[in-house]
Each structure stands twice: as structure tokens, then as C-alpha cells.
């Protein structure tokens, strides 16, 4: 191997590939189950080669023992999975919003295969998650992922201790913010459903013989989806702005 690459260069490439491969395994759009493994592996190799001249200075020297090498590789894989999990967990914003909208428009029973999850979900939730993934690539937010990979070597340098406490705190805060934002994005439909259900209840009390359910169910679907469609542009804009802010947390290390 020496005529092509030194042992130190091979070690540095393995360290970079361990972190970047783990991140790409979890990233939205790239790390989905429907993406062929060869495509993901090729992308991880290409990105690793591209970033090697940039981040090689932050990598530790080649350990003398096999146990030391395995420990460093496992550490980098854990760091990569943690970063990727944080970026993917924010997609629960759209899943939460979609489930709330589906419940309020009586469409929650309409389950469909969600290509971004390992289980079926409501049709609106699957639509929103696909929309969010499309917006990530349409707005070039995925470029921040590359900057974030470089910045992660400054924020979480391999030579420094692993900050598990900070990871746990950020993960809890990210999931909490994602749930709250999901409820906020679905707020227009929630307000509509509250007003509509109150009006339907009053009609049922005033006119007991009137079949409120048969008249209210179609109106609830039509009007609820109309409110959802009117707010879809704002929903996508708010989501992508907040997602870019999360990605900038790691990308800021590259700029700073």
C-alpha cells in the first residue's frame, strides 16, 4: 500500500469516512431506505476524499494498537450518527403537523406508505415530509450539510473528549422545538376545526332532527383542506428557515 498511500493517509481516510458515512446514513433524502446502498457508499467516499485535505489536520495520529484504532473508529461513527440523527429528527415537525391536520380533517384513517419512515402514516403527513425533503434540495440547504461536516471537526474535534451531555441536551431541545413548531404550523387548521365543531354542535342542539354528521363531515374535509392549502406556502417557508438555522449550528464551525 505504501507506493499509493502511506499508513497515516489510509488511517486519516478511514477516520473521515467513519464520521461522514454515518452522517450520510441519517441525512434526509440521502439516507432513505429507497436510496441504493451503492449510491450512499459512493457519495460517502467522494465526500470523504473531497474533505480530506480540509480536515486532515484535526485528526489524531495512527494508534499503535488495534484496540486504539477500533476505539477511534467507533467514536467517529457515534459522532456521525448523533449529528445525522439531530438533522433528521427535525423532520418530525412535518410529521406532527401532518398528523394534526389529518386528525382535524377526519382523514387520519387514510393511511399510506411513507417512503421516509419505516411505517405507514397519514397521507397528509407523508405529503408534508416529501415536501420538506424537496424543499431542502430545492433551496440548496443540502449545501449546509457539507459545510456542517467540516464545521463538526471544529465543534467536535476528534482529539477532544466526546460531549455526550451537550448532545443529549441539544437532542431534547431539538425534539421539543420540533413538536412545538409542528403544532404551530397546524394552528390554522386547529382553529378552524375548533370553530367548525362548535358551530356543528350548536346546530345539533338547535335542530336535533337534523343529521349534522352527514352534512358536517364533507364540509370539514373540504374547508379543512382549503385552510391547509392556503397556509402551505407559509408552512414550507417557516420549516425551511428553521431547518437552515439548525444546519447552521454545525456549518458555523466551518465559517468560524
- Residue 112 phi/psi, 5-degree rounding, is -145, 160
Cell triple for 198: 362548535
For 27, the 3-state DSSP assignment is coil
**SS3 at position 112:** strand
**Is the CB of residue 131 less than 8 Å from the CB of residue 94?**
yes
Q: Give the phi and the psi of residue 188 in degrees, each rounded to 5.
A: -55, -40
Is the pLDDT confidence value at 115 over 80?
no
The per-residue pLDDT for range 49-79, each reduced to its tens digit, is 888 888 877 788 888 888 888 888 898 898 8
Distances (CA, A) of 215 to 131, 149, 188, 211, 222: 32, 54, 22, 7, 12
Region for 244 from its dihedrals, namely left if φ exceeds 0, alpha if ψ lies in -120 to 50, beta otherwise = alpha
Give percent of the chain above pLDDT 70: 91
Instruction: Give the chain's mean pLDDT.
Output: 83
Instruction: Give me the residue spans of the domains in the chain.
Output: 7-255
Reported as a single tens digit per residue, the pLDDT across 213-253 is 778 888 888 998 899 999 999 999 999 999 888 888 776 64
- CA distances to 62, 104, 131, 235 from 112, rounded to whole Å, are 49, 18, 15, 22
Amino acid at each position: 500500500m505504501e507506493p499509493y498511500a502511506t499508513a497515516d493517509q489510509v488511517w486519516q481516510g478511514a477516520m473521515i469516512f467513519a464520521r461522514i458515512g454515518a452522517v450520510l446514513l441519517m441525512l434526509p433524502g440521502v439516507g432513505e431506505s429507497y436510496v441504493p446502498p451503492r449510491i450512499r457508499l459512493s457519495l460517502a467516499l467522494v465526500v470523504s476524499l473531497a474533505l480530506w485535505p480540509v480536515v486532515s489536520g484535526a485528526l489524531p495520529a495512527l494508534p499503535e494498537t488495534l484496540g486504539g484504532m477500533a476505539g477511534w473508529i467507533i467514536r467517529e461513527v457515534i459522532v456521525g450518527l448523533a449529528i445525522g440523527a439531530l438533522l433528521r429528527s427535525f423532520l418530525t415537525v412535518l410529521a406532527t403537523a401532518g398528523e394534526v391536520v389529518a386528525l382535524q380533517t377526519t382523514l387520519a384513517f387514510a393511511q399510506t406508505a411513507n417512503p421516509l419512515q419505516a411505517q405507514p402514516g397519514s397521507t397528509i403527513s407523508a405529503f408534508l415530509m416529501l415536501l420538506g425533503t424537496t424543499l431542502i434540495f430545492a433551496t440548496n440547504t443540502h449545501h449546509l450539510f457539507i459545510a456542517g461536516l467540516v464545521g463538526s471537526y471544529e465543534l467536535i474535534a476528534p482529539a477532544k473528549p466526546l460531549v455526550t451531555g451537550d448532545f443529549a441536551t441539544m437532542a431534547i431541545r431539538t425534539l421539543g422545538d420540533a413538536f412545538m413548531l409542528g403544532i404551530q404550523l397546524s394552528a390554522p387548521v386547529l382553529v378552524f376545526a375548533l370553530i367548525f365543531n362548535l358551530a356543528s354542535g350548536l346546530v345539533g342542539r338547535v335542530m336535533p332532527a337534523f343529521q349534522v354528521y352527514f352534512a358536517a363531515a364533507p364540509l370539514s374535509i373540504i374547508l379543512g383542506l382549503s385552510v391547509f392549502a392556503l397556509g402551505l406556502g407559509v408552512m414550507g417557508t417557516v420549516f425551511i428557515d428553521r431547518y437552515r438555522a439548525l444546519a447552521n449550528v454545525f456549518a458555523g464551525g466551518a465559517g468560524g
